[in-house]
Chains A and B, each alone.
Chain A
Amino acid sequence: MSQILVDTSALLALLDADDPRQAAVRATFAQHPDDDLVTHGYVIAESIAVARRRLGVDGVVALLDDVLPAIDLLQVDAATHATAQARYRASLPSGTSFVDQVSLAVIERDGIDTVLVLDPDFARPGLTVIPGH
């Protein structure tokens, strides 16, 4: 049993029947019943913002009531936030988004080796990306 960090892109693709990778994301969730799903507050805030704009209140309610209870919340402490912020600042004007920098800092802090994501920014040595590209 290991921890799988769930990113914003996976949460949104799961809910959206029009997403071309919706079935693959659902299957990936179903294929890991014994692994711990984890995420953090920045991913949740971003997911709520996008769901509210494009899926409406019902989409946000499904995210809050049906999806997130299955995913454990990891704390982003001040040191992890500071690491992500410094890396984000150094990557400007282009580069990995701030929320992704926080995810990468959490992954590094907690030794997480698998991430459920559709974002190519997570492709790096030592990190398994599912469902894969």
Chain B
Amino acid sequence: MIRTQISLSEEQMQRLRAEARRRKVAIAEVVRDAIDRTIPADPGERRARRQRLLSAAGRFHSGSGDLAARHDEIAGEGDR
């Protein structure tokens, strides 16, 4: 993590504190989340990551083909 210092208006700080209280997280977490939502990743990097996701498609064989349909049960959360 990189430490930095920013200036906010009183009203912005009040909103930031209120949101952090509502979420029960640190103020820094609200700021990091806002940055991730507001500033998109580099387009080239984004395309490369999406291509890598697509390259993983169908790479494995479960033998049953029911992982998606029965994932609750397989993960141990089936009805008891």
Cβ of A10 under 8 Å from chain B = yes
Cβ of B58 under 8 Å from chain A = yes
Contact indicator A98/B68 (Cβ below 8 Å):
no
A33-B37 Cα distance, complex, nearest whole Å: 17
Interface range on chain A (Cβ under 8 Å from partner): 35 or more
A22-B50 Cα distance, complex, nearest whole Å: 16
**B-side contacts of A26, CB under 8 Å:** 54, 57-58
Contact indicator B24/A16 (Cβ below 8 Å):
no
Contact indicator A53/B23 (Cβ below 8 Å):
no
**B-side contacts of A47, CB under 8 Å:** 71
A-B contact count (CB 8 A): 125
Answer whether A77 and B24 are a contact pair too, CB < 8 Å, given A19-B62, A98-B77, A118-B68. Answer: yes
- Give me the interface of B with A, judged by CB distance under 8 Å: 22-25, 29, 33, 36, 40, 46-47, 49-50, 52-69, 71-72, 74-77, 79
Cβ of A70 under 8 Å from chain B = yes
Cβ of A87 under 8 Å from chain B = no
A7-B19 Cα distance, complex, nearest whole Å: 26
Query: Which one of B24, B46, B59 contacts A17 once the chains associate, using CB atoms below 8 Å?
Result: B59
Contact indicator B59/A15 (Cβ below 8 Å):
yes
Q: How far is the CB of B40 from chain A (nearest CB, A)?
A: 8
- Name 30 A/B residue pairs within 8 A (Cβ), A-sorted: A8-B68, A8-B71, A9-B69, A14-B57, A15-B59, A17-B58, A18-B62, A18-B64, A19-B66, A19-B68, A26-B54, A29-B53, A46-B71, A50-B67, A50-B71, A50-B75, A54-B62, A54-B64, A62-B59, A62-B60, A66-B55, A67-B56, A70-B50, A75-B29, A75-B33, A78-B25, A79-B23, A97-B77, A118-B68, A118-B69
